[in-house]
Amino acid sequence: MNILLTGINAKYIHSCLAVHLLAAYARQEYGICCETAEYTINQSEDLILGEICRKKPDLIGFSCYIWNYELVQRLVRILRRVLPETRILLGGPEVGFDSPAVLAQTGADFILSGEGEELFAQLCRALLESRPLSEVPSLTYRQGEEIRQTSSAPPLDLAKLPFVYKDLSFYENRILYYEAQRGCPFNCQYCLSSAEKGVRFQPLDKVCRELRFFLEHRVPQVKFVDRTFNANPRFALAIWRFLQENDNGVTNFHFELAADCITEEMLEFFSLVRPGLFQFEIGVQSTYEPTLQAIDRRTPFAEVCRTVRRIQQAGNIHLHLDLIAGLPYEGYTRFGQSFDEVYSLRPDQFQLGFLKLLKGSGLRRDQERFGIAARETAPYEVLFTDALSFEELLQLKEIEDLTELYYNSGRFRQSLEYLISHAESPFRFFEGFARFRREQGAHLQTPGKLEQYSLLYHYGCSLPGCNPLELRWRMKFDLYSHEKARKLPEWLTEDETSARRNQVFDFYQAALSERDLLPEYAGLEYKQVAKMAHLEFFPFDPRKPEGSGRAVLLFNYRRPDLLGNAAVTDVTSWFRE
């Protein structure tokens, strides 16, 4: 039997761990061979259909999520006509809830609900050996005109979970995902993880053995998909210590954490790790206590603040903080307060999401109670609530777009710091920026790099108290922090460096000979270094308040920080007027 498992990802850089786990488990436990294929939602239906049809599968399985479900449904309808003998299996979080209705709606043959590894292998055995489908647990299937459903399967023994990464050539330029545990100890009402009670773990020695593979192959990043990685502090710390002790200086590991499960021992340990070894994501979701109670989040924001600031003290961990718009009781103005309070923590990434009423979640069940209206098709995103109008939600969408473009890019740090100090609050700054961009008609375009600086500059100049000259210098700092700019915006004419060309060359010659400032450029001629690094004379240090005195700053692009910006060194003492 020709079996094909198909994952359709949101982006090319993603990979579908689920289909590889199912295929590897079936081969490992039962000797059943399956082919896997991955596509993206950005590819055309015709291309995906063509690739599938050429493989002529007897059984095709789709892993269904909110980002691909509409496309999967269209593919299933067409496959039903062009490959009428092919049987179609659906699995994943988007189809596991109310599976009889989903089976009737989609026209698929089978749906597996819950953990799929053992279930999929049992289904394949039943089809290969002509055994009754009623013996396959957690299966929804057709028998004639009737839709039947079998009893739920027990949880999988995670010691049997296969390691899918053998040949890394397929994963080049993709994120590698890893799963050390399943389940979540919390009951967040917007999340499907609340439906699964308890947390189960892979054996620690197995996890460490598999993580060693990533370290030995020096992969750039591994993203743990565990919903709350630090649910068991002892388990989490053991893995973190292993990663620190075997650090290869290259690989970054991403974890989702719960702030209230971060212990003092963890905080002390975090301060010791290499910058860039760990990347943490903490879901704040809201700072409004009635909202937190409604969604069953138990961590007060003051506690989150204390934990986040402790993590940030060493400056060695890339930190993401998340908010969700459209939650119960939180209107536009109150969400702006949550925005300001999280922004005050200055996370490396500030992610604004919008509530999605996932099938099986508590908020989907209680949406009428909270007056939540959402789209009827995946991803079921909120349209409005009792507290938040549709127009206000659209405004938040624009603020989210600008936050992503200007804050999360890390390319406008000094400019934003200066401009927001002249606004009522960070939220009001981005609100005004969104209005300004819309008035300029710029929201209808995708601005280039220099256009992004120009838009921010012209908006900034409209703010009361903004000094355009100071802003231009800070923007010049931001430009050169990100890259050795070959072209500057036409309004950025300030220059105290060009006339000092000989001094600049003298500096590079001296710096290379002493090898303390630019060790990454050793072996190069000073004129080569002048083309690759950058030296800029400023009337003040843009990282400090105006009036701090003249500064000469060296931008080293071969020693970037966690956000990819150049290392900046004050070399003013090398120059004498």
CATH of the domain spanning 175-408, picked from 3.40.50.2000, 3.80.30.20, 3.40.1390.10, 3.40.190.80: 3.80.30.20
What are 410-435's pLDDT values in tens digits?
999 999 999 999 999 999 999 999 99
Q: What value does the mean pLDDT of the chain take?
A: 94
- Is pLDDT above 90 for 548? no
Quick one: average pLDDT of 308-320?
Answer: 96
Quick one: average pLDDT of 537-554?
Answer: 87
pLDDT for position 361: 92
What are 122-154's pLDDT values in tens digits?
999 999 999 999 999 999 999 988 999 999 999
Angle of helix 413-420 relative to helix 468-482, nearest 10 degrees? 150
Token pair 């375009």 in the structure block, residue: 445
525 CB-near residues (< 8 Å, 6+ apart) = none
pLDDT for position 544: 84
Numbered ranges of CATH 3.40.50.280 in the chain: 3-149
What is d(CA 319, CA 311) in angstroms, rounded to the nearest whole number? 8
The share of the chain scoring above pLDDT 70, in percent, equals: 99
What are 460-475's pLDDT values in tens digits?
999 999 999 999 999 9
Quick one: average pLDDT of 272-282?
Answer: 96
Task: Kindly indicate the confidence band of residue 196, based on its pLDDT and cuts at 50, 70 and 90.
Answer: low
Task: Kindly indicate the confidence band of residue 549, based on its pLDDT and cuts at 50, 70 and 90.
Answer: confident
Task: Kindly indicate the confidence band of residue 447, based on its pLDDT and cuts at 50, 70 and 90.
Answer: confident
- Is pLDDT above 80 for 488? yes
- Strand duo 551-556 + 534-538: pairing: antiparallel
What are 372-401's pLDDT values in tens digits?
999 999 999 999 999 999 999 999 999 999
Task: Kindly indicate the confidence band of residue 299, based on its pLDDT and cuts at 50, 70 and 90.
Answer: confident
Q: How many residues does the chain have?
A: 577
Task: Kindly indicate the confidence band of residue 561, based on its pLDDT and cuts at 50, 70 and 90.
Answer: confident
Provide the whole-model pTM: 0.93
Numbered ranges of CATH 3.80.30.20 in the chain: 175-408
Task: Kindly indicate the confidence band of residue 540, based on its pLDDT and cuts at 50, 70 and 90.
Answer: very high
Quick one: average pLDDT of 226-247?
Answer: 97
Quick one: average pLDDT of 477-492?
Answer: 94
CATH of the domain spanning 3-149, picked from 3.30.70.260, 3.40.50.280, 3.30.479.30, 3.30.565.10: 3.40.50.280
3-state SS, residue 245: helix
Tokens at 399, concatenated = 């603020």
- Is pLDDT above 80 for 217? yes
Which among 380, 375, 384, 382 has a CA at the least distance from the CA of 93? 380
pLDDT for position 335: 98
pLDDT for position 469: 95
Query: H or E stretch including 569?
Result: strand 567-570
pLDDT for position 526: 87
